[in-house]
Amino acid sequence: MKTVAFEKKARNVFFHILTQCNLSCRHCYINPEQHGYNMLSVEIINKWLDELYTENTNVIFLGGEPTLHPHLSLSVKHAKSLGYTSVTIDTNGYLFHDILDKVNPNDVNFFSFSLDGSTPEINDPIRGHGSYENCIKGVKKAKNKKFCTSMIYTVSRLNLNDLKNMPQLLMDLNIDRFFIQVIGIRGKSAKDSKKLQLNKQEWTSVIPEIARKIAKLGITVTYPKVFLEANEQFECGAKVSENFFIFPNGRVYQCPLCEDFPLHSLNFVNNKLIPTKKINESQLFDLGIQEGCVMNKLIQPDNIIYNDQGNPEYKIACCLLKETVS
């Protein structure tokens, strides 16, 4: 297992090309009031891809459900022609507009499927009736067409106990990479956080061990570090790596935890990336506090525990810091 240092020489573009979705997952972090209701045209997406490209840049197309965009394939091909190092499409598996027939494995490095349970009984109450079956069908279709596939499992109290059943399913589906996500206290889940969010004991006693077990099957597993011991070094990822979270209303964030607020540090204006006026998220990145991440303390203080002297017992890592096991 290794903690992945923030990649200083790579740029990651998380490109939400629309916010519409055919599902309505309980923990969805998309917040159209903050992120926009519009679907970007292919012309605009491509101009923004031009603007964001530099050497060693990865793009992840997201939504909402990005395959609801009828011209996603054109932007995928544009990204590849510009030289983007990798192109990923995150999908709930419904794969609209025959996307698998319009792109090929040279265009798309990974299709990443979101599934939150090893059975419909676990997954569907979280992601919606029929979503398990459609996701599995989508994975199989992608595999038949020789695409590399990832699976993303967002862990909450609703499905923590089911994680142990995922290795068999991942093997059966021949999944290449597995991402375990922590529930983000953003969007809809912000209203339900106490029922959903795991504490330190729940996270550390289950996640690393299952990740190791899955890695032994030959599948690379990535999961967020979340909890740092008091002696571990804290770093704010926004200060040391380049991650851009793009939304269809033109907002560009460097910190995902800021996405529920108008704190974005950049904006697309006339298709150029322009810094926003202060105060914005970038002023938060320099605030060193003993709890670790300042945004965590502001929006989800319940995951910190204090000792009798009033000091935090551990720090919360930057949400961008990941462990990888392979």
Compute the distance between CA of residue 320 and CA of residue 7 in angstroms, rounded to an integer. 10
Under DSSP, the state recorded for 177 is: E
Compute the distance between CA of residue 187 and CA of residue 34 in angstroms, rounded to an integer. 10
To ligand SF4, the closest distance from the beta carbon of 19 in angstroms equals 8
Per CB under 6 A, the list member of 237, 249, 266, 268 interacting with ligand SF4 is 237
Q: Examine residue 285 and tell whether it contacts ligand SF4 (CB under 6 A).
A: yes
Q: Examine residue 76 and tell whether it contacts ligand SF4 (CB under 6 A).
A: no
To ligand SF4, the closest distance from the beta carbon of 222 in angstroms equals 16
Site for ligand SF4 in 111-130 (CB under 6 A): 114
Q: Please tell me whether residue 151 adopts helix, strand or coil conformation.
A: strand
Q: Which is nearer to ligand SF4, 83 or 262 (CB)?
A: 262
Q: In 3-state terms, the chain is what percent helix, strand and coil (to 5)?
A: 35, 20, 40
Q: Which is nearer to ligand SF4, 24 or 168 (CB)?
A: 24
Per CB under 6 A, the list member of 28, 152, 170, 182 interacting with ligand SF4 is 28
To ligand SF4, the closest distance from the beta carbon of 209 in angstroms equals 25
Q: Examine residue 24 and tell whether it contacts ligand SF4 (CB under 6 A).
A: yes
Residues touching ligand SF4, count (CB under 6 A): 24
Per CB under 6 A, the list member of 100, 182, 236, 304 interacting with ligand SF4 is 236
Token readout for 157 is 């109290």
Compute the distance between CA of residue 28 and CA of residue 185 in angstroms, rounded to an integer. 10
Q: Examine residue 23 and tell whether it contacts ligand SF4 (CB under 6 A).
A: yes
Q: What are phi and psi of 65, to 5 degrees?
A: -105, 110
Q: Examine residue 320 and tell whether it contacts ligand SF4 (CB under 6 A).
A: yes
Q: Based on the number of CB atoms within 10 Å of its own CB, is 174 exposed (0-12), middle (13-18) or buried (19 or more)?
A: exposed
How far the first Cα of the chain sits from its last, in Å, is 7
Q: Examine residue 87 and tell whether it contacts ligand SF4 (CB under 6 A).
A: no
The interface region with ligand SF4, picked from 7-15, 172-180, 266-274, 290-298 by CB under 6 A, is 290-298
Could you tell me the CA-to-CA distances from 301 to 199, 287, 306 in Å, in that order?
11, 16, 11
The interface region with ligand SF4, picked from 18-26, 70-78, 205-213, 215-223 by CB under 6 A, is 18-26
Under DSSP, the state recorded for 97 is: G
Compute the distance between CA of residue 67 and CA of residue 140 in angstroms, rounded to an integer. 17
To ligand SF4, the closest distance from the beta carbon of 275 in angstroms equals 17
Under DSSP, the state recorded for 93 is: S
Q: Examine residue 14 and tell whether it contacts ligand SF4 (CB under 6 A).
A: no
Per CB under 6 A, the list member of 21, 139, 163, 221 interacting with ligand SF4 is 21
Token readout for 167 is 């290795």
Q: Examine residue 167 and tell whether it contacts ligand SF4 (CB under 6 A).
A: no
Q: Examine residue 247 and tell whether it contacts ligand SF4 (CB under 6 A).
A: no
Do 99 and 89 meet the contact criterion of CB atoms below 8 Å apart?
A: yes
To ligand SF4, the closest distance from the beta carbon of 255 in angstroms equals 3
Strand-pair partners of 151: 113, 178
Compute the distance between CA of residue 318 and CA of residue 225 in angstroms, rounded to an integer. 8
Report the interface residues with ligand SF4, using CB under 6 A: 21, 23-25, 28, 30, 63-65, 92, 114, 236-238, 255, 257, 284-285, 293-295, 318-320
